[in-house]
Amino acid sequence: MGFRIIAAFLLCYIALCQADFQKKQNLSGKTVFVSKMKKNWFDAKDYCLNKGYTLATVKSAKENGELTNVLKTMPVATHTWIGGIRHPQENNFRWEDTQKQIDSTVYTNWEQGEPNNGRGVEFCIEYWNDATKKIEWKWNDNDCKKRTDFCV
């Protein structure tokens, strides 16, 4: 009897934890969720940490392709945070979970002309999709305060 109660609570907890996400997909040994809510980059990172997750990192073309295939199924998504950030005093972006530098020695998927630190406030990495500009799920640096979807 005690086991059934614990199992029921565990299933409820899992269901509640995942209720905030639109899509769950197993990719390259990872489970990926896309949020139902919009948050700025820092709130998204904190939200993930509180749930035991991290914002998504992309370490290969294969991972990028799998992740963008999930994003393509999302309704009306155009901007989606992932786990890269550049601190104002640094030149290069880093993956927040490992602090590994994102530069020419590792896989990247930047849109042409990015990162550009537009308006001097673009420090966080997002996936960007804009059919009018023929941009399909490329990386872009954007203002970390912008509220958008996020991937974990």
pLDDT given for residue 23 in this prediction? 53
Query: DSSP for the chain?
Result: -HHHHHHHHHHHHHHHHHTTEEEEEEETTEEEEEESS-B-HHHHHHHHHHHT-------SHHHHHHHHHHHHTSTT--EEEEEEE--TT-SSEEETTT--EESTTS---BPTT----GGG-EEEEEEEEEGGGTEEEEEEEEETT--BEEB-
Q: What is the pLDDT of residues 80-120, one digit of tens each?
A: 999 999 998 898 999 999 999 999 899 999 999 999 999 99
Name the residue with higher pLDDT: 1 or 91. 91
| CATH number of the domain where residue 85 is located | 3.10.100.10
Q: Model confidence at 24, in pLDDT bands (50, 70, 90)?
A: low
Domain membership of residue 74 (yes or no) is: yes
Q: What is the pLDDT of residue 32?
A: 81
Per residue in 43-70, pLDDT (tens digit) is 999 999 999 999 999 999 999 998 898 8
What pLDDT does residue 92 have? 94
Domain assignment of residue 68, yes or no: yes
pTM: 0.82
The answer as to whether 4 is a domain residue is no
Task: Quote the number of domains for the chain.
Answer: 1
Residue with the larger pLDDT of the pair 44 and 24: 44
Tell me if 10 is assigned to some domain.
no
> Residue 7: inside a domain, yes or no?
no
pLDDT of 129 > 90? The answer is yes
Check whether 124 has a pLDDT greater than 90: yes
Range of the domain at 114: 22-150
- Is residue 8 in a domain? no
pLDDT at 22: 58
More confident: 15 or 89: 89
In a domain, 101, yes or no: yes
How confident is the prediction for the chain on average, in pLDDT? Answer: 83
Is residue 80 domain-resident?
yes
Q: What is the pLDDT of residue 16?
A: 35
Give me the pLDDT at residue 6, please: 35
